[in-house]
Amino acid sequence: MDRHYWKGGPAAAFTSIVALALTGCAAASGATGPETAAAPAASDASSEPYASTYERYPGVPTALVGATIYDGAGGRIENGVVLFANGEVVGVGDSSLTIPDGYLEIDGTGRFVTPGIIDIHSHLGDYPSPSVPAHADGNEATSPTTPEVWAEHSVWPQDPGFSRALANGGITSLMILPGSANLMGGRTVTLKNVPSRTVQGMKFPGAPYSMKMACGENPKRVYGGRGRMPSTRMGNFAVNRETWMEAQAWMERDNPSRDLAMETLAGVLDGEIGIQNHCYRADEMALVLDMADEFGYQVSAFHHAVEAYKIADILAEHDVCAAVWADWYGFKMEAYDAIPENAALLHNAGACVVIHSDDENGIQRLNQEAAKAQADGIRMGFDISDADVIGWITLNAARAMGIDEMTGSLEEGKMADIVLWNGDPLSVYSRPEMVWIDGALMYDMNNPLMRPVSDFELGQPGEGDVK
Amino acid sequence: MKRLLTFAASAIALAASPLAAQDIAITGATVATGDGSDPIENATVVVRGGRVVAAGAGVQVPAGIPVLDGTGAWVTPGIFASITNIGLEDVGAVSASNDIDADDSPFSAALDVAPAINPQAQDFSYSRAGGVTRASVTPGAGSSIFAGQGAIIDLGADFDAVREARAFQMVEMGERGARLAGGSRTSSHALLRNALREAADLDDVGRLRTVTDNGRVRSGDDLSIDPRLAGRAEREGDVLLSRFDAAALVPALRGEQQLYVRVERASDILAAIALREEFPSLDMVIVGATEGWMVADRIAASGIPVIAAALRDLPASFEQLAATQSNVGRMVDAGVTVAIAQYDSSGEHPRNLPQMAGNLVGINNVPGHTGLTWGEAFAAITSVPARIAGHANEGVLRNGAHGDLVLWDGDPLEVSSAPVRVWIDGVEQPLENHQTRLRERYRTLDESQLPPAYRR
């Protein structure tokens, strides 16, 4: 249970941090490119560190025919056609869409098609199963600010949870975050949900980084409990502000030496790294928005934002997404005012809604969680379409993660990250039937050989079983 | 559906005593009786004097009974939620409000949740609004393998929640039990055996008479308090348990009180079953059983019922390596009596039980999976857990059963459905709570005239 109090969550935006930080520095100091390039960091900057080695797996040109399509962007097509080839969506339309020669036709009659589901808040790999202390790699809880750590350096690619998220949840992309023990927990990493020997083999090519931040109870409890700052919410803000000022000063230096923490913070202040901010209470979110104004950065999303409904107008005005659970409540004081209508009230106010999991079980049912949140809104009298609700777990998540130009909706030219469901994805009775990532079939409900099994599970009870 | 939304709960405060039961007949609804059968369309349910009179198709409505048109709605018995912490906490992480674990208590088996249960805790009303009408409430194991004694409650909006105090003793015999026992399953098994033998020593009736002269102490229910609980504190011999704890184990040893044994690993389940060879009168229930499917035939042969999580499918620990969502279905197919209960994450609550059950119906469409039929799945959160708890007249709609009804706006196992009205013992229940009030306060964010604090 304790682990849940610590986990926090978020999602966001950029890549080559080192290059970024230097760019920002150079811009601020007026230094010219050549000097910057000559700095020690420059050689690292020339290639992205820990770069993605992921390449899409082979696929065949495929036509999904006759299904109900939710495109992730609010569109719904009955008896539709989705075409994809060479890793990309080629076309989406109604039954009049011509199927080119050479396409494998899959009958989607009575089935549903959505973009691949995206979880903006996961700890798979950094809090993997089995959940033993030796696997607890999600919180560098030794200092209240650790912008220098990168979640990808904790991700264990053999976490069996990835396969469950794929097979039961239709998850094709996910953001792995450091936990929420720290005010600044470190860099997030966005992954394609493909089994891999290395984390680099899972990294979403071109996905921006985000930095995880956390409001409220967790940081002050963890550090206050050790007799050090912060021990209060005001302490939380003071430490954050001083850290941002430190980053500003670092950015103004001529030829600063490399500093992992400052590089990440500078990336945020330059707008190239997003902020995924674990924050429960409405009043604290409002304060964070002012802190972002004070230092000139943008919050990508508030995570676990159980009180977002109280400030839905402010969040809409600031164009900040709220990543929320459907109906979690009560497990900690700052979750006391959580209500099941949170997502619906946000949606009704025109704010960006994302349904997230923060949980290795919940990630397998984001579709159901979104459906619950929708139903609670409809009972309030709100008009919330099924197509919009699918957007809560696809395009809106992609947007807050900075990957919406590449995935999150079924549009020509986007990645062919697609789920064929055996029924309405907003029903408890439906499951993914087939899942494609970049046009490659990665899961097939009807083929036991298309069910990935992690190294950990080999030779163990239940290996390769339905899960 | 609007016509069903007629009950106006005027007060959130609990009634000082139970409200009066009202006779009612609901007609034209889809009725699921909770006994494992399929739902019945266009059926009728009649409740009189707080008890179900009849439920099914072709039921005649007695003259003079108020009739509610249930067309388009579903009517079911209330959910029976097993192994909950309802009423034991306000906020999990606020330790002062959390009475689940007693980590620093000198007592273990003697711990009794009954006096700690608070019907005003929000979890009570949230669960009730989710259609949960009955539950078992268990303490958590804090300092010993013995968590203490759980109770059976109803979730009525009154102060008389506890229907059966000290209904069961909970003991941890898996990984957690081993840690609590000193670091190994060897110790938890030794501790359990020793504790039961100490209880047996105390159960010597002849000696009892010399120790106390209090006779039977009445507790107001079927289960008498062992007189030694009220007697002297001394006893002889080399003992590990306090006298109070040992005495509390006497009913479990005698089989007068259920012993809930939490185990997950297949081999741990078999070790638990084997306890009955040494202690034949134990009335055991296996709680957990994540790997139960691997030894389902042996559980079935033992006749011991199981309360299991529905959706575990990860090797979350080394005692759950074989976890699969087919676990419950495979055990049921093998003849094991299985109730569903699962609150693994911060977000899983008793009101999510229908969703869990619904998932077990859904997996039937996935080749290789073994799920439950709709009727089995619904029974696994209503009549089956009630029966396991020894309360066969709860969680079911049949003549003589408690008048616990839930009127739903759709298929209760579907995630888009929710209760519209709830009755317990024929008493219609308020469904308002902290969450519904917040919802209404923030329905609009307009503060042009006054801040939200003035909206009530």
A20 band by pLDDT with thresholds 50, 70 and 90? very low
Element (H, E) at A31: none
Residue B196 sits in a domain whose CATH number is: 3.20.20.140
The reply to whether A332 touches chain B by the CB within 8 Å rule is yes
d(CA A275, CA A323): 12
Which chain B residue has the Cα nearest residue A456?
B315
Give mean pLDDT, residues A131-159.
97
The C-alpha of B316 sits at a distance from chain A's nearest C-alpha, in angstroms, of 4
d(CA A377, CA A371): 10
Same structural domain, B315 and B240: yes
Residue B46 sits in a domain whose CATH number is: 2.30.40.10
d(CA A336, CA A60): 50
d(CA B58, CA B27): 10
Same structural domain, B210 and B345: yes
d(CA A257, CA A41): 8
Task: Render pLDDT for B79-112 as a digit per residue (tens, 0 to 9).
Answer: 999 999 999 999 999 999 999 999 999 999 999 9
**CATH class of the domain comprising A2-40+116-407:** alpha beta
Nearest CB among B320, B359, B438 relative to A339 is that of B438
The C-alpha of B354 sits at a distance from chain A's nearest C-alpha, in angstroms, of 10
Whether A341 and B439 lie within 8 Å, measured CB to CB = yes
Task: Render pLDDT for A375-397 as a digit per residue (tens, 0 to 9).
Answer: 999 999 999 999 999 999 999 99
A381 and A375 Cβ atoms separated by less than 8 Å: no
Asked, for residue B26, whether it belongs to a domain, the answer is yes
A160 and A456 Cβ atoms separated by less than 8 Å: yes
Choosing from B353, B386, B419, the residue where a domain stops is B386
A339 and B435 Cβ atoms separated by less than 8 Å: yes
d(CA B320, CA B313): 9
Same structural domain, B351 and B410: no
- Which of residues B10 and A415 earns the better pLDDT score? A415
B134-B140-B146 Cα angle (round to 5): 110
Whether B314 and A129 lie within 8 Å, measured CB to CB = yes
Residue B452 pLDDT greater than 50, yes or no: yes
Q: Which of B435, B437, B455 should we substitute to test contact with A (largest number of A Cβ atoms within 10 Å)? A: B435
Same structural domain, B363 and B424: no
Task: Render pLDDT for A179-228 as a digit per residue (tens, 0 to 9).
Answer: 999 999 999 999 999 999 999 999 999 999 999 999 999 999 999 999 99
Residue B334 pLDDT greater than 80, yes or no: yes
| Structural domain that includes position B291 | 165-386
Same structural domain, B244 and B298: yes
Provide the H-helix boundaries in A101-225.
161-169, 217-224
The C-alpha of A343 sits at a distance from chain B's nearest C-alpha, in angstroms, of 11
pTM above 0.95, yes or no: no
What phi and psi, each to the nearest 5 degrees, are found at residue A153? -80, -5
Burial class, B439, CB count within 10 angstroms (exposed 0-12 / middle 13-18 / buried 19+): buried
Asked, for residue B340, whether it belongs to a domain, the answer is yes
A chain contacts of residue B1, beta-carbon cutoff 8 Å: none
Contacts of residues B181-187 at CB distance under 8 Å and 24 or more positions apart, as own/partner, are B181/B144, B181/B145, B185/B268, B185/B271
Question: What total of structural domains would you count in chain B?
Answer: 2
Asked, for residue B122, whether it belongs to a domain, the answer is no
